[in-house]
Amino acid sequence: MEQKQRFVSLAESGHFTVTELCREFGISRKTGHKWLTRYRLHGSSGLEEKSRAPNGVPGKIELEIERAIVSERRAHPRWGPKKIRQRLICRHGIEVPPSVSTIGAVLSRNGMVTPRRRRGGVFGVKRGTLTPAERANHVWAVDFKGWFLLGDQQRCDPLMISDLYSRYVIRVEGLPQATIGWTQKSFKAAFRRYGLPEIIRVDNGAPFASMGPGGLSRLSVWWIGLGIEVEFSRPGCPQDNGYHERMHRTLKDDCCRKPSIHGPAQQQRFDRWRHEFNHERPHEMLGMQMPS
């Protein structure tokens, strides 16, 4: 402000040209003339900085909609703008919801976005000749998330089974151990409820594979005996079953970071998570429909 007042005082004195003063003050001639014009019209108050905010914001969303966005995010901390937008349509009856970018801006403005730490990836990775799922019960993906200890110090080995076509989570069960016996028992329950898939996709670890002939375990031999084709991903290539691996991370964040006190309580958390994933959570790969 002092610099502006000094500039106009020197310019009004008549001893200096505007060009000379602009060069001395390190400003453009356009800025110098702007200051002089404002001073002559409004006096010293004309030199004060004016707000550059627009008088109106045509795209500003209503307060009720913003509250609904924040509420849905708090209820579903791992849902992104696309899923929340679908939720506004289905649950809140908003026919024309804000755009995905606007919802993202609302989440960021309310401190509900954690910057993701990015790391270098491997580009140009070629997948193996895995069968693309073309219908329900065509390809099931199976894997263990990785064991952890419950509050009573008992081991929990979550087994997850999903249908790759519908993205439907068929089963999430916390088993005492990742053994053939426990796994087979869980699969019997899944088969009774949903029928037999055509293909089961697994990795090369136990209990799905072994060091025996053809790399088959007793579990995979049992599947083949039921007429199910067993499809192995490439060793050391978790990206071959990338969708299933991504679900493991979601399950871990939502259900396992603070384990329950015992097995039944932990299973209840798995069941609630599975119901929400199948019946409430919009899925981008399904055109924002629910797997169910």
Dihedral angle over CA of 178, 181, 187, 191, nearest 10 = 180
Rounded mean pLDDT for each run of 10 residues along the chain, 292 residues in total: 80 82 88 89 82 64 87 89 90 88 89 65 41 92 86 91 93 91 94 94 84 74 88 71 66 79 90 90 84 90
Q: How many residues does the chain have?
A: 292
How distant, in Å, are the alpha carbons of 3, 88, 126, 160, 287 from that of 273?
A: 63, 21, 33, 12, 21
Looking at residue 12, its pLDDT comes to 80
CATH of 139-286, one of 3.40.50.880, 3.40.190.10, 3.30.420.10, 2.40.50.140: 3.30.420.10
How distant, in Å, are the alpha carbons of 73, 123, 136, 252 from that of 257?
A: 19, 31, 32, 6
What does the block give as tokens for 245?
């691996």
Looking at residue 122, its pLDDT comes to 32
Structure-token match 């396992």, residue found: 256
Q: Note the pLDDT tens digit of each residue in 232-267.
A: 887 666 666 666 566 767 777 777 778 888 989 999
Looking at residue 185, its pLDDT comes to 95
Looking at residue 212, its pLDDT comes to 61
- Residue 43 backbone phi and psi in degrees, to 5: 75, -155
CB distance 143 to 244 below 8 Å: yes
HSE-CB of 190 using CA atoms within 13 angstroms:
25
Give the C-alpha separation, 25 to 43, whole Å.
20
63-109 maps to which CATH number?
Answer: 1.10.10
In 3-state terms, the chain is what percent helix, strand and coil (to 5)? 45, 10, 40
Looking at residue 57, its pLDDT comes to 58
